Amino acid sequence: GAVVSQHPSRVICKSGTSVKIECRSLDFQATTMFWYRQFPKKSLMLMATSNEGSKATYEQGVEKDKFLINHASLTLSTLTVTSAHPEDSSFYICSARDVRDRKSRGYTFGSGTRLTVV
């Protein structure tokens, strides 16, 4: 079945630095990838939709300059948290769309990245 690899699984960074999170589709090409943010014991909130070769579409209220998304190839999307602050600490999870995956109806999730900004 479709596999999405997300790295790193955990990262601790200093306030003011930038952090890059990678999301790779391992055995399929993903024209669309999704980035979610999840606070503890809360729901997944869609941050942006990433389309290969074009600009990401951000949800209302998400700072485009803070959360930079790049989808340069059909198998890789990256989320860069720029000038991170403690309030950016959260669980970030990506999802990729494999239209061939009938079982999960195409939405495969990475294992998530727990970001802690100190």
Partner 1 sequence: AQKITQTQPGMFVQEKEAVTLDCTYDTSDPSYGLFWYKQPSSGEMIFLIYQGSYDQQNATEGRYSLNFQKARKSANLVISASQLGDSAMYFCAMREPLTGGGNKLTFGTGTQLKVEL
Q: Which of 32, 50, 77, 90 binds partner 1 (CB under 8 A)?
A: 32
CA atoms 91, 108, 66, 41: torsion sign = negative
- If one asks whether residue 5 binds partner 1 (CB under 8 A), the answer comes out as no
CB 6 within 8 A of CB 111: yes
Task: Please work out the total of residues on this chain that contact partner 1, with binding judged by CB under 8 A.
Answer: 24
Within 51-110, the residues that bind partner 1 by CB under 8 A are 51, 57, 91, 93, 95, 103-105, 107-110
Backbone angles phi, psi at 6, to 5 degrees: -125, 130
CB of 107 to partner 1, least distance (A): 6
What residues line the site for partner 1 (CB under 8 A)? 32, 34, 41-46, 49, 51, 57, 91, 93, 95, 103-105, 107-112, 114
